Structure 1
Amino acid sequence: MPLILFNKPYQVMCQFSPHPGRQSLADYLSIPGIYPAGRLDADSEGLVLLTDDGKLQHELSHPAHKQPKTYIVQVEGQTDAAQLARLSGPLDLGDFTTQPCHARQILPPEWLWPRDPPIRQRATNPTSWLAITLTEGKNRQVRRMTAAVGLPTLRLVRIAIGPFTLASHPLMPGEWREVATSELRR
């Protein structure tokens, strides 16, 4: 039963079935019987875990197991302490209130690959980078959170799920590797 770490490129659908006009996981992985343990939307990049083990998939993706997920986010605007406090939550997004999370401002990550196509840059609008760690994962949650505090997301990259990180398992977009499930138990 493989556990696959995959660095999902921008605009790739997090599904194996064909999609009109966009690539899917099937364009990168040809391992029979695996499926994603959680998803990233097409506009997001970064770490996705895949497995052929239904019990492990449940353990990795179900909110009851609270696997922390860390994202680095480039936002439009300068971040201030009040925005970071609101992001750290709980934050009312209208249809639900987020669980508390860890949000902090970071320096632009020098190790991050360029995005193709590049994000839009406006000389008059500064950008900031944040690191946000959640223990839940609602649809487009990070984007909705940053927008709610006045910081629209320009780029979103998931860099960690539980003990698995792109720092300890460096992968370029479209690359994958198999890891031992025992790493999850550490």
Structure 2
Amino acid sequence: MSDRQYILFYKPYGVLCQFTDDSASPRSTLKEYIEIPNVYSVGRLDFDSEGLLLLTNDGQLKHHLIDPQFEHSRTYWVQVEKVPTEEALQQLREGVTIQGYRTKKAIVTRLENEPDLPARNPPIRFRANIPTAWIELTLTEGKNRQVRKMTAAVGFPTLRLVRVAIAHLRLDDLEVGKWRMLTDYELQELRAKVLPRRLR
């Protein structure tokens, strides 16, 4: 276990969840922020999404966190265009159909106040005649661009998306673009939540 690494990172907007980019116009990658070798992100956050990313070289833990059969939670704060109706929120809770796939039940609440988050760079486009609102959405699956597709499906497109928790791990006081190692207690709790007893 001593060679295992477990890192929490606050991914900024406009950064790929990988360490290299071979495209014709290379974009920012994790290499610019994290100098620990041979760690890989557990799941992904889109280039245009922000928030909590867990990186590790523990393949067993990674598998149990990202395989949908184990249904581990991820929580997002989502700024949407317009103010969602209770009917739309209930649709998200019950599951919506996106590209022929029915999403699993989700926990969804509308946030009464805008969450205390660092300003995004660049900021979202402001339109004075169209209000926005924030919702908290907890999923137990992670399809490609799922949150954005879900809110669009009920008529409230996502403007800003920030992952604030993976299981019990939260952003808390982590600053944008910064990372830290999991504490021993956090790791023990994560392994207890994620792994079957025989593998802890």
One-letter amino acid of the counterpart of residue 84, structure 1: L
Partner of 1:32: 37
User: Residues of 1 paired with 2:134 and 2:95: CA distance?
Assistant: 21
User: Residues of 2 paired with 1:41 and 1:79: CA distance?
Assistant: 23
SS at match of 1:125: coil
SS at match of 2:101: coil
Q: Is 1:182 aligned to residue 160 of structure 2? A: no
User: Residues of 2 paired with 1:129 and 1:171: CA distance?
Assistant: 21
| Count of aligned pairs | 184
Cα offset, 1:110, TM superposition: 4.2
Q: Which has the higher helix share?
A: 2
Q: TM-score, normalised by structure 2?
A: 0.88
One-letter amino acid of the counterpart of residue 174, structure 1: G
Q: Is 1:149 aligned to residue 140 of structure 2? A: no
Cα offset, 1:94, TM superposition: 2.8
Q: Is 1:164 aligned to residue 194 of structure 2? A: no
Partner of 1:16: 19
Q: Give the superposed CA RMSD.
A: 1.2
Cα offset, 1:111, TM superposition: 2.0
SS at match of 1:38: coil
One-letter amino acid of the counterpart of residue 12, structure 2: P
Q: How does 1:86-105 map to 2 (within 5 A)?
A: 86-105=91-110
Cα offset, 1:57, TM superposition: 1.1
Q: Which moved more, 1:97-106 or 1:19-28?
A: 19-28
Partner of 2:143: 138
Partner of 2:117: 112
Q: Is 1:45 aligned to residue 71 of structure 2? A: no
User: Residues of 2 paired with 1:111 and 1:150: CA distance?
Assistant: 25
Q: Which moved more, 1:10-19 or 1:72-81?
A: 10-19
Cα offset, 1:21, TM superposition: 3.2
Structure 1: 4+ residue segments shifted above 4 A: none
